């Protein structure tokens, strides 16, 4: 069962959601639903320019509440548990030019 579905429409959207400081890899998911640290979820996501939905099981490791500082969106950071290196590879290949950007992300 899929708990959340995320479509990353642009590279900028994916960049803002990517959490490289979570090891081995994490993604931020904007949501107004209530979640708790340690909660396990199954997430389906689609990368920019792709028609394929990828899936992973993950654990909530970050929470941005409504009204978070810096105008950051409400949502959760999820550490990818299933096949993290495969997901990391797909994401970082797309973001190879963006990773050195100083643009604000959804988390830090």
| Closest by Cα among 7, 15, 19 to 103 | 15
Per-residue pLDDT of the chain (108 residues; tens, 9 = 90+): 999 999 999 998 999 999 989 999 999 999 999 999 999 999 999 999 999 999 999 999 999 988 777 778 899 999 999 999 999 999 999 888 766 566 666 666
This prediction's pTM: 0.89
The dihedrals phi and psi of 64, each to the nearest 5 degrees, come to: -100, 115
DSSP secondary structure letters along 27-53: EEEE--S---TT-EEEEEEE-TT--PE
| Closest by Cα among 26, 15, 28, 5 to 94 | 15
Residue 104 has a pLDDT of 65
| Closest by Cα among 31, 20, 15 to 80 | 20
């Amino acid at each position: 069962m899929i708990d959340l579905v995320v479509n990353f429409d642009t590279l900028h959207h994916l960049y803002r959601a990517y959490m490289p400081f979570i090891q081995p890899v994490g993604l931020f998911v904007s949501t107004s639903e209530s979640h708790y640290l340690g909660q396990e979820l199954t997430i389906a996501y689609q990368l920019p320019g792709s028609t394929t939905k990828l899936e992973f099981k993950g654990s909530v490791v970050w929470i941005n509440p409504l009204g978070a500082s810096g105008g950051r969106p409400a949502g959760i950071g999820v550490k990818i548990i299933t096949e993290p290196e495969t997901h990391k590879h797909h994401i970082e290949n797309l973001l190879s030019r963006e990773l050195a950007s100083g643009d604000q992300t959804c988390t830090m």
